[in-house]
Every structure is written in C-alpha cells, then in structure tokens.
Amino acid sequence: MIKVNSTSDFQYVPPHKALTAKTILIKPNLGYPVSHPVTIDLKVLATVLTTLRTLNPSAKIFLVEGVCAQCSLQEIASENGVTSLLDARVSLLDADELPLKEYVNISPAPVRFQSLWAPRLIEEVDCRISLAVLKRTESTAPLISASLKNLYGLFPRSKYSDKKTHARDRLHNPSVMSVLQDIYFTIGHLFDGAIVGGEKRFQSYDWRPYEGESFPFGKVIHGDDLLAVDRKACLVANETVPSYVDIIEEMRKEIVSDFGA
C-alpha cells in the first residue's frame, strides 16, 4: 500500500522488515553539496529516523551515500545538517569506501550490464530503504529522479566513472532511463521500502540535477515498492510516469511467471 502524507503531518510507516531488523540501510539522496530539494528534506529524514528508533530501538541504522561532487560526504552531511541526526545507532557511510560485491542482473533482458558492483553491505543488512526527493531534469527527454534513480549513488566511482572522476558516467549510456532497468534488477529489487518527497521538488532545464528551480510540493509518498512509490509520486506531482517504470514492472511479472509464483 502506498501512503501519501503532507509534510506537515508525515507519519512514517516502515516496511515490515524494519520492525525486527538488526541492521537497516537507508540510502538518502545526499550526493551534492546543495540543500533541499536537490538533496533530501532534513525534516523527512528526521521523522524516518525517529520512527525507526521508536519502533525498533535496538536496530543499527546506516545512512549510505556516494557523492557526485568534488567534496566529501562528510562535508555535504555537515552543510545540510545531517550530522546532527547521527548517534551511536545511526552512522553515515560513504558508499565509495565500502567493500564491494558484484550483483548479478536477474533481468530477462539486460540493457547493458550483466552485473554491477555495489557495496556488499546492501546484501548483508536486514532491511533497505531508499529516501529520495522528486527531481526532473531535461536532456533529450525528461528524466524523473525518485527512489530508483536515487540508487545511482551506491555504485562506486572507481568502477563507473569515465571522463569525470567525480561522476558515474558509464551508467549514463546508452541512457539513464534504460540503465535504470539494469539497476533495478541488480540491487533495486532488494530494497524493502521507498520514500519520496519533501517541502519542495526540483526541476532543471538541462541534464544537471543541481542547477534549476524549486517548486512547492509539501508531500511525502512512501511504501514497500520502489516502482509503485515512484509512479505515485509522479501522479501526485502531475508528472508523466517514466516509461522505465512500466518496462520494469512488465519484466518483473515475467520473472515471477518463470518461477511459477
């Protein structure tokens, strides 16, 4: 079930796994040294952490992000106030510095990558949550960034940078929208929950996801399925649902059918 709240009365309902998990990974959209809505709404993150602490006091929570800028994750977290939310049970980890694992692409039709490298921690934790903002960028076609696109920051720049050492250029070809299929079927399908939204949403008029305009939004959409949450977020914002959402959903049905579920 997908829930839509206003930011003023956001009450987070975590995935069922989060209630008994010993370890929880939250992937916040925090890759740029720019405040909300380019990065997460700090109040939304605070509500999520407070809820998880209350419902599962013994859980260890990891905020895991890989930056896409020429500065450190610690600098970005400090500038955006995230470090004030850290304590003995909530830690901040740079995805580029974690041990890696090669995740097999289970898609029935991989676009480019038969496998992708990402932190081993994704597989090791008991629960995984993508915490994103809603962004729209323009290049050859509009690209909506929400909970699935948010996972880009988990892939190591040491393996996926090309011309720009601070970016992940290799994951941009043949296009971000097509590579997102590979991302879903390597690590995206492992995620147990998604959160999208905040006081504002962002729109760029070119490919840059950090220069543009912000617009009032005031909504938080959350649920257990990344694709369903991203679809609902687009509908709430009167944005066209990206074609990759439909494509991945159809492929997912094919996988389920193949296993006889």
Q: Domains in the chain, please, with CATH?
A: 3-258 (3.40.50.11440)
pLDDT at 257: 59
pLDDT digits (tens, 9 = 90+) for 203-238: 988 777 678 899 999 999 999 999 999 999 999 999
**CA of 18: how far to CAs of 52, 64, 85, 126, 261, in Å?**
7, 16, 19, 8, 25
Residue ranges of alpha helices (H) inside 201-242 are 226-236
* Lowest-pLDDT choice from 21-25, 35-39, 257-261: 257-261
Spatial CA neighbour of 129 closest among 193, 188, 184: 193
- Whole-number pLDDT of residue 206: 76
Which residue in the block uniquely carries the two structure tokens 């309902």? Answer: 13
Query: Vertex 161, ends 156 and 167: CA angle to 5°?
Result: 85
Average pLDDT of the segment spanning 64-88: 93
Q: What are phi and psi of 129, to 5 degrees?
A: -135, 130
Q: What is the mean pLDDT of residues 88-97?
A: 97
| pLDDT (mean) for 2-29 | 97
Nearest 5 degrees, angle CA 191-CA 39-CA 133?
50
Report the pLDDT value the prediction gives residue 261, as an integer from 0 to 100: 40
Query: What SS3 state is found at 200?
Result: strand
Contacts of 111 (CB under 8 A, 6+ apart): 174, 178, 179, 181, 182
109: burial class by Cβ within 10 Å (0-12, 13-18, 19+)? exposed
* pLDDT band at residue 259 using 50, 70 and 90 as cut-offs: very low
Q: State yes or no: pLDDT of 260 exceeds 50.
A: no
What is the pTM (predicted TM-score) of this model? 0.94
Distance CA 242, CA 141 (A): 10
Q: Give the H/E segment covering residue 26.
A: strand 23-28
- The region, left, alpha or beta by phi > 0 then psi within -120 to 50, assigned to residue 81 is left
Question: Quick check: 120 pLDDT over 80?
Answer: yes
Rounded-to-integer distance, Cα 7 and Cα 168, Å? 32
HEC sequence for 62-99: EEEECCCCCCCHHHHHHHCCHHHHCECCEEEEEHHHCC
Residue 13 C-alpha from the chain's centroid: 17
